[in-house]
């Protein structure tokens, strides 16, 4: 089955490039590339889980510029996010850590005890994503094992945590991603509960919208882009109202789940999607 070539609608129409990053000058044998982010110069950073855990750096055309492996610290790469200061924040679900890196792979800071899960409510037990707000506070979705969100001050000190297992307000089945929007709302993708929950900075529940298994969100210029488990990508207002949405077709057409796992949007408005269903799952959607 051929990959659908044009997706979306209206202002948010895209041409799909399922071979981005794998042509001449790229990585023909790309592994499981479930994490993707970009820096202020629109260089794209792909967090590859296997066969070798590493960060791959591409230009917008898909040419490989560099790569690094973190000195062997990575065990099971999960989330990667580039801050406005052009520093990479990385979560590893088996190392049970959040780490901060320069763009060329120098370790700047680490949180958590390497390869040791924290107790209930204590960072970390299989964390999924770290995000730094404009004022320097860091928020971590802690994720598969802990069902919590942790808040840190601008110096990296833990100042509070919230969450518990369940499907009620402020509870989580799987907090898979976290973002702080322009309204100072902390948005948490509560994946298995099929919703995005909204909190204030202290963790007070403000509301939610329910949708299809939100994996990850990215906000640029007041527009939210969302990757959904089980085959969908959507574009929304910053309060969750859909502007465009479409079924997502995996590069790996034999995979039934077709799961987009991570999403990033460059300054031109092009979308990059990392998959989690097998090796070679990465696509670029060029805005038309």
* pLDDT tens-digit series, residues 139-149: 999 999 999 99
For the stretch 183-193, pLDDT in tens is 999 999 999 99
Domain residue ranges of the chain, discontinuous segments joined by +: 6-287
Judge whether 31 and 49 are in contact, CB under 8 Å.
yes
Q: pTM for the whole thing?
A: 0.95
For the stretch 48-104, pLDDT in tens is 999 999 999 999 999 999 999 999 999 999 999 999 999 999 999 999 999 999 999
Residue 192, SS3 per DSSP: helix
* Structure confidence at residue 257 as a pLDDT band (50, 70, 90): low
* Structure confidence at residue 28 as a pLDDT band (50, 70, 90): very high
| Dihedral in degrees, nearest 10, Cα atoms 259, 56, 38, 12 | -40
Q: What is the pLDDT of residue 277?
A: 80
Which sign, positive or negative, has the C-alpha torsion 18, 16, 177, 39?
Answer: positive
Q: Smallest Cα–Cα separation from 284: which of 18, 11, 35?
A: 18
The CATH fold assigned to 6-287 is Neuraminidase (2.120.10)
Q: Which residues pair with 91 in a beta bridge?
A: 98
Rounded Cα distance between 213 and 90, Å, is 22
Rounded Cα distance between 229 and 87, Å, is 27
């Amino acid at each position: 089955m051929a990959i659908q070539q044009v997706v979306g609608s209206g202002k948010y129409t895209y041409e799909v490039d399922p071979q981005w990053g794998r042509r001449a000058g790229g990585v023909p044998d790309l592994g499981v590339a479930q994490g993707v982010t970009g820096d202020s110069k629109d260089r794209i950073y792909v967090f590859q889980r296997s066969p070798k855990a590493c960060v791959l750096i591409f230009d917008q055309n898909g040419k490989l510029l560099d790569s690094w492996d973190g000195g062997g610290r990575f065990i099971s790469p999960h989330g990667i996010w580039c801050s406005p200061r052009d520093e990479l924040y990385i979560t590893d679900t088996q190392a049970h850590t959040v780490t901060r890196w320069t763009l060329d792979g120098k370790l700047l800071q680490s949180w958590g005890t390497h390869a040791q899960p924290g107790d209930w409510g204590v960072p970390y037990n299989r964390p999924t994503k770290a995000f730094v707000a404009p004022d320097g506070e860091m928020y971590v979705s802690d994720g598969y094992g802990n069902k919590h969100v942790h808040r840190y001050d601008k110096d990296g000190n833990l100042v509070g945590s919230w969450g518990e297992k369940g499907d009620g307000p402020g509870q989580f089945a799987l907090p898979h991603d976290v973002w702080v929007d322009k309204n100072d709302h902390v948005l948490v993708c509560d994946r298995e509960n099929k919703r995005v929950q909204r909190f204030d900075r202290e963790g007070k529940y403000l509301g939610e919208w329910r949708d299809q298994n939100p994996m990850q969100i990215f906000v640029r210029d007041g527009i939210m882009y969302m990757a959904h488990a089980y085959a969908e990508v959507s574009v929304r207002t910053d309060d969750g109202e859909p502007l465009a949405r479409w079924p997502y077709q995996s590069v790996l057409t034999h995979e039934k789940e077709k799961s987009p796992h991570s999403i990033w949007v460059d300054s031109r408005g092009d979308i990059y999607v990392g998959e989690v269903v097998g090796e070679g799952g990465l696509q670029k959607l060029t805005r038309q």
